[in-house]
Every structure is written in structure tokens, then in C-alpha cells.
A and B are shown apart, each in its own frame.
Chain A
């Protein structure tokens, strides 16, 4: 392993997580029909717990939003739980993740503490971005979550550049960059995939296709609605996977991650449902009744729960125990966030510049640029 010059060394907690992850990786992906090994069935239960964490976190975020604890926009990962769990299972702790504004679940399953994420939603000092980012701009350098980004597709060139830096340093990490289906139509998608393929960068582009860019369907916005096929334009390996099945997603993720690590960028499309509106405040009236009925059958958590119970991989009580444990964690996260302080106004200019410079403006809105005492010329 090449010496890492790029970012500070991880803490010991992080190393433990990494060890756990690589142990888990030895588990072969399952197929639905065959009898599962103990490891495989354990993995299903482990997915269930991770997915429940995302589900309960998002439900709490929605509730907190209606209680005005969360401001701004708030986009939830409801329906994406299996996709996130499967995808991130194959990412090493040292690998970088860039994502968009629908990102709470990604931050959680990258390993970041739920309390610090909730505190960010509440705009508090203990938040992952100290209250500067909010729902759309989660960031944690230690966990190598290099940002949620609020401008659609804005993260693509950045992630490509991060992969370039890895390549430049001859280091072994990869970058994973997720985006929504809508992002595949902006210029930065084409420019980034072209550059990544041209320069053979270690990056996986992941399209989370939930069928809707806000209220506009993929077929109404994309001339090639099978989005992974666009990889062909860049001679980039690509595939599409069912985002309701965490095992299938993990298998696809494994292939994509391995490819990226061999400096062959990859485009992975994951089909997911979006169980609610575009954001917390969107009642999604543009969806038909049949569509909404159909959605209920497409809840990845219900599907996984049934699979576990039918296969006898865990008992209902075991799952209930997990539910209770998760609920407790989310409650704790809420309480931690609520107790965390609001940032002090005196810190408003703390992040103007990383390299301090003279004449940097630190004027509050009502302040004059110059003290009135300096203005009088005096008698001529």
C-alpha cells in the first residue's frame, strides 16, 4: 500500500470499522433460490439493520422538519435503503464518497454517527459541518464523505478530480460518486465521464434511478432512458441492477469497485423507488393512484423482512429487537442534536478563508465600512 500523503491518518475507531468491512467482504453474494450459508444469512440481517437505520433516521428527519427543527430543503432516502446498504458494503473505509443533496442515508452507512448528522440537520455546532451545510451539504473528512452537493450534478467534476488526485499520488483508494437520474442530462455528466474514461481514473459513477427528477419522469427527460447504456459513449463498463435487493446491489457494487480499483471507471445504474415526494414538503400529487399503490409493493424493507422470515434466517422477535435497537439509536441522535448548541454569531467569519489575508471583510449587515469618526476632515 502506498503511503497516504493526501489526508490525515484515520482514528482507531475507523480502523476497526474497516476491519469489520473487509471481513464481511469475503461473504459470497447469495442467490435467492439456493440455501444460504450462515454468513449469507447473517449478511441479510445486517442489511436489515442498516436499512432500518436509514428508514428510521429519515422518518425522524421528516418529523423534525414538521416541528421546524430542520430548515431549508430536506430530501429523504426513503425507498433507497437497499441500494445504499448494498452499494456501500463494498466500499473500503479509505474510499471517498461524493453524493448529492439526497444523502442522509449515505452519510449514515459510510459510518458517520447519527447524532452528528441529526445535529447538522438541526443546524447545530456538533453537526458534521458545524451547522454550515445542512441537509444538502453533509461532509466528514475523517469518514471520507466528501460532500453532499446541492447543485444537480455539481459533484461529478469534483469526484472526477478526486480520482485524478488519487491517480496522481499513485494511491489505491477509489472514488464513488452517486447522482440522481436527472443529473445524467447535465453537461457535467458528459464532461466528467469523458474525462474519467480518457484518463483511466479510479471512479465509480452511480446513478440512483428513482424514475423521477422532482416530478418529471426519466422517459420525459432522457432520450436514452436506460441510463447505464450511456457508458458506451465513453467505452465505460456499465450495468443496471435492481435496487430493491441489497444482495444484488452489493454484487454489482463489488464488480464496479473492483473495476475502478483497476483504473477502469464504471457506470452503475440502480433502480429504486422513491417512496415519498421529492422533498419533505412535496405531496407528490403528480403521481397516479395506481402508481402509489404499486409503490407500497416496492418497499425494500418489507421485501427483505419477508425474505428473512420466509427463509428462516431470523425470527420475527430478532427483527423486532433490531427495530427497537435502531429506534433507540435514532431517539438518542435526536436528543443529542436537540441539546447541541446553535453556533455563536461570533463565528460567522471563521471560514472566510483557509489562508488569512489582509482586508478580508468581516462587516455585519448593519455596520458601516468606516467609523464615522474617521470621516470628518476638520476645518480647512
Chain B
């Protein structure tokens, strides 16, 4: 068993040992060892050349990583949180995502931007956003979002070895979660979702923290209510594995999408539209979305908790969907708060 944080740290280290062109850049990743300690010990082991503390200049150093990648290095940039990617967004969208295609495939941009999203830490409006959608929208980028320590490892290996710019979404609430992590350095395949739990009653879809929640809820409802829920962890937001979702919905005839971002225009909107495109005739209920309340995140713990999707919200949405399908409830109200 390892934590998500340990899996990330060890993978960075292993990839740096394996390939000298892999190096790290970011604010406070060296002496400070990273705001969330993902790079702990790496400066001491690899030195300043490969663990590079940057000035507070997200646009400058993210763009510099793109330029270094154009010359064949494999920079792994840490943006302290995804909120700060807004400062670097021009370089991510107009440079990283464009350079391979815009110049007719002459030069690759093999770089990774690691950054955590996630609310729930009382960090207020500007530090609690889930804006991965901005990047998932952009052709030329790959966006991956592991929800388990094992995936954190396999997807990070894949991202570092990939020849395209990859936005690697982490999550503050997942850093301390545990899971089995294989010793092998087998990379994941970017672009594939995973069915993390098979079932027939309903398809529950999530990514990052909400995939973790989805598995937890499905497990609990199996025990408490005998429900047989299929869970899909998207793992990759671009490319999006619609096939896996459609195949699941064809089997279960219903889907509930869990997302930590805002509902309107959110990732779930794309999932719902895709299900309508690929499994319209198979649906026995509308696709339900559980997403954050559409407000700037409040600081107050009470308000913050109310704004974020809870396990109760997920359970509630599942039962409302089962109701809409005309399925009999088994044992409702057994308390899943």
C-alpha cells in the first residue's frame, strides 16, 4: 500500500533515473520540496539542474518548458494548483497545444504539466476551482486525471514518456489516499477509461476525486442495498473514451455523472451529450449530473461543504435515476451521509 503522493514522488524519481532528459520545474519544488511535498528529497538527489526552482512566473516558466521540450528535453512542470494555470494559459493553449500541428508536425512537445485541482480545503474562491475542462477542450493537449495511487504511477509514466503535452491533473483530497501500486513500470494507455467496478443496475461515471467517490458509493450501496452499480473512471479527459461509456450504458440503461466542476458547460455536459449520441435508444432515464453549486467557492466551511458534491448527493441522484427508470427501491434511507 502506498499513498497517491508517494506514488507520484517515486514515479518522478524513477523516470528521472531512467532518462536524463527528464527534469522538473516549478515554484518551491526544490528547497521547499513542493507545496504538497510531491518532490520531497528530489533536489538533494538530483541537484539544481534537474530540480529547478523557478521565479513566480507561471507564463514564463511554463513557456520555457515548452521551448525546452521543442529541443528534445522532457520537462515536468509543477503548477502549484490548477488555479495558477490561468497565469500560464496562453503558453499552454497557444504554444504547447499548437506547436506540433501548427508547424506541420515538424517538432514535438514532450512535456507534462502536473497540477492539483480540488476544493474542500477552505481555500476560498480563487484557490478551489476545477478548471481542467479548459484544457480538455483543446485539441493538441492530452489531459489525464488519475484517481488511485496505481493510476497515478502508470499515468505519470505514460505522460512523461508521451511525445505530446500532457496536463496531469492531481487532486488535493487524494494525496493521502492509499492503494496498491505495482512495482512494474508499465505505462498506462492514455485515452482509455477504466471500468473499475462491473455492474448492471446503473453506470456511475467520474474522474479524479469523483471517481474515488463513485467507487466508494458503489461499494457501500452494494453492501447496504444490494445494488449492482458499474463504475467508470474516465482517467483521460482528452482523448475521451466514449466507447467504454456507451458500452456500459447499453448494458445498464442509465448513467449518473459525478464531477467536481460546475455543471453548466462542464465535463458532465459532454458525457451526457455523448451518451445521447451513442446510446439514446438504450436510456431508461435522463443522464443525471452531480456537480458543484454554481458559485465562487465560499471560505466558510458550512458553505463550502454545501457547494461541493457529497456522498449523500451521489446516493440521492442514483436513487432518483432508478426511480425514473421505474426500478423498485430495495432498502432506501439506510443512511449514506
Contact of B277 among A188, A352, A369, A376 (CB under 8 A): A369
A13 at the interface (CB under 8 A from B): no
* Complex-state Cα separation, A272 to B130, whole angstroms: 46
Within 8 A of A (CB), among B88-127: 90-91, 94-95, 99-110
A166 at the interface (CB under 8 A from B): yes
Contact of B104 among A139, A188, A191 (CB under 8 A): A139
Query: A146 to B189, Cβ gap below 8 A?
Result: no
Query: B71 to A358, Cβ gap below 8 A?
Result: no
Chain B 1-33, CB-CB to A under 8 Å as 1, else 0, gives 000000000000000000000010000000000
Across the interface, which residues of B come within 8 angstroms of A209, CB to CB? none
A243 at the interface (CB under 8 A from B): no
A176 at the interface (CB under 8 A from B): no
* Complex-state Cα separation, A360 to B162, whole angstroms: 14
* Complex-state Cα separation, A148 to B23, whole angstroms: 27
Considering only CB atoms, which chain B residue lies closest to A191 in the complex?
B60
Query: B102 to A132, Cβ gap below 8 A?
Result: yes
B70 at the interface (CB under 8 A from A): yes
B330 at the interface (CB under 8 A from A): no
* Complex-state Cα separation, A166 to B109, whole angstroms: 16
A346 at the interface (CB under 8 A from B): no
Considering only CB atoms, which chain A residue lies closest to B63 in the complex?
A157
Across the interface, which residues of A come within 8 angstroms of B278, CB to CB? 369-370, 374-375
Query: B104 to A7, Cβ gap below 8 A?
Result: no
Provided the pairs A192-B63, A368-B277 are in contact, do residues A147 and B68 lie with their beta carbons within 8 angstroms? no
* Complex-state Cα separation, A188 to B91, whole angstroms: 10
Query: A161 to B241, Cβ gap below 8 A?
Result: no
Provided the pairs A6-B71, A353-B100, A358-B192 are in contact, do residues A375 and B60 lie with their beta carbons within 8 angstroms? no
Within 8 A of A (CB), among B183-206: 189-192
Considering only CB atoms, which chain B residue lies closest to A130 in the complex?
B104
Query: B246 to A168, Cβ gap below 8 A?
Result: no
Query: B66 to A157, Cβ gap below 8 A?
Result: yes
Across the interface, which residues of A come within 8 angstroms of B328, CB to CB? none
Query: A168 to B68, Cβ gap below 8 A?
Result: yes
Query: A161 to B70, Cβ gap below 8 A?
Result: yes
Q: How large is the interface on B (under 10, 10 to 19, 20 to 34, 35 or more residues)?
A: 35 or more
Considering only CB atoms, which chain B residue lies closest to A199 in the complex?
B52
Query: B191 to A357, Cβ gap below 8 A?
Result: yes
* Complex-state Cα separation, A159 to B91, whole angstroms: 12
B219 at the interface (CB under 8 A from A): no
B149 at the interface (CB under 8 A from A): no
Within 8 A of B (CB), among A1-42: 5-7
Chain A interface SS verdict (over half):
loop
Q: Which of B63, B191, B240, B274 has most A Cβ within 10 Å?
A: B63
B131 at the interface (CB under 8 A from A): no
Contact of B274 among A156, A369, A377 (CB under 8 A): A369
Query: A164 to B191, Cβ gap below 8 A?
Result: no
- Closest approach, in angstroms, between the C-beta of B282 and any C-beta of chain A? 5
Provided the pairs A129-B103, A160-B67, A195-B61 are in contact, do residues A354 and B108 lie with their beta carbons within 8 angstroms? yes
Query: A137 to B243, Cβ gap below 8 A?
Result: no
* Complex-state Cα separation, A194 to B190, whole angstroms: 36
Considering only CB atoms, which chain B residue lies closest to A160 in the complex?
B64
Chain A 241-281, CB-CB to B under 8 Å as 1, else 0, gives 00000000000000000000000000000000000000000
Considering only CB atoms, which chain A residue lies closest to B191 in the complex?
A357
Within 8 A of A (CB), among B234-291: 236, 239-243, 246, 250, 274, 277-282
* Complex-state Cα separation, A2 to B110, whole angstroms: 23
Within 8 A of B (CB), among A366-380: 368-370, 374-377
How many chain A residues touch the partner (CB < 8 A)?
Answer: 59
A131 at the interface (CB under 8 A from B): yes
Query: A370 to B106, Cβ gap below 8 A?
Result: no
Provided the pairs A133-B104, A357-B190 are in contact, do residues A157 and B71 lie with their beta carbons within 8 angstroms? no
* Complex-state Cα separation, A154 to B106, whole angstroms: 19
A351 at the interface (CB under 8 A from B): yes
Contact of B64 among A140, A195, A359 (CB under 8 A): A195
* Complex-state Cα separation, A370 to B250, whole angstroms: 13
A151 at the interface (CB under 8 A from B): yes
Provided the pairs A166-B71, A353-B164 are in contact, do residues A156 and B63 lie with their beta carbons within 8 angstroms? yes
* Complex-state Cα separation, A165 to B49, whole angstroms: 11
* Complex-state Cα separation, A163 to B63, whole angstroms: 12
* Complex-state Cα separation, A376 to B71, whole angstroms: 50
B324 at the interface (CB under 8 A from A): no
Contact of A139 among B106, B190, B277 (CB under 8 A): B106
- Closest approach, in angstroms, between the C-beta of B243 and any C-beta of chain A? 7
- Closest approach, in angstroms, between the C-beta of B287 and any C-beta of chain A? 15
- Closest approach, in angstroms, between the C-beta of A209 and any C-beta of chain B? 22
Across the interface, which residues of A come within 8 angstroms of B71, CB to CB? 6-7, 96, 161-162, 165-166, 169
Chain B 44-55, CB-CB to A under 8 Å as 1, else 0, gives 000001000011
Binding site for B on A (CB under 8 A): 5-7, 96, 98, 127-133, 137, 139-141, 146-147, 149, 151, 154, 156-166, 168-169, 187-188, 191-192, 194-195, 198, 350-355, 357-361, 368-370, 374-377
7 closest cross-chain pairs (CB), A and B: A157-B63, A161-B67, A191-B60, A161-B64, A130-B104, A165-B71, A139-B103
Contacts A139-B107, A188-B91 supplied; 5 other A-B pairs, CB < 8 Å: A132-B101, A353-B163, A358-B239, A370-B277, A375-B281
**24 A–B contacts, CB within 8 A, in A order:** A7-B71, A129-B106, A151-B90, A157-B61, A157-B63, A157-B64, A158-B64, A158-B67, A160-B67, A165-B67, A165-B70, A165-B73, A166-B71, A169-B71, A188-B60, A194-B55, A195-B54, A195-B64, A353-B163, A354-B105, A354-B110, A359-B236, A360-B191, A370-B242
